[in-house]
Amino acid sequence: MRKLSLQELERHSPESFAAADKNPFVIVLDNVRSMHNIGSVFRSADAFAVEKIYLCGITATPPHREIHKSALGAEETVAWEHVPETHLLMPQLKTEGYIIAAVEQADKSMPLQNFRPEPGKKYAFVFGNEVFGVDDEVVSNADICLEIPQFGTKHSFNISVTVGIVLWQAARPE
């Protein structure tokens, strides 16, 4: 066994990635504080060919060296938009046909392993602040809540880990 070279990976160029089909997902970051987390989300969004990232509230926006440090250029390949308040974006996404999926521990949340995106449907995955989670108003207006089962003493994953787990579940082939 040997590692593949970068040429053998046959990755997109930034130009071909821009033109390539994307998964029918957008990511909504609800007041995420850490620029390292934001950069990591960009990198995962690039890896899973996400349509767009919405950076809401206090979530920092590119260009910024702290975002670039973990995004490694993905902030230049993934479409993004800043929105002043997360709850104001939800009606727009619903009008555009997105199913709003808040990733949060809630009374009616669905275990992530039971989630299968419906073919032909579009999903907006909402990830919350590192301390406070997804805003209550956003959770109460979401179509579904997804929760990653955990078995240790902590109550949450780092947001960048959560995004990777959720996107893997959403994008994986049946």
User: How would residue 173 be classed by pLDDT, with cut points 50, 70 and 90?
Assistant: confident
- The answer to whether the beta carbons of residues 41 and 7 sit under 8 Å apart is no
The pTM (predicted TM-score) of the whole model is 0.96
Q: Count each helix (H run) and each strand (E run) in the chain, helices first.
A: 7, 7
Convert the pLDDT of each residue in 121-147 to its tens digit: 999 999 999 999 999 999 999 999 999
Tell me which residue has tokens 């996404």: 93
CA-based radius of gyration for the chain: 16
- Mention every residue, 6+ apart, whose C-beta is less than 8 A from residue 21: 49
96-79-104-142 Cα dihedral, nearest 10 degrees: -10
Q: Is the pLDDT of residue 52 over 80?
A: yes
CA gap 3, 72 in Å, rounded: 21
Helix (H) / strand (E) containing 84 = none
Give residue 6's pLDDT band: very low, low, confident or very high (50, 70, 90). confident
Instruction: Give the integer Cα–Cα distance in Å for 18 and 137.
Output: 33
pLDDT digits (tens, 9 = 90+) for 56-92: 999 999 999 999 999 999 999 999 999 999 999 999 9
156 CB burial (10 A radius; 0-12, 13-18, 19+): middle
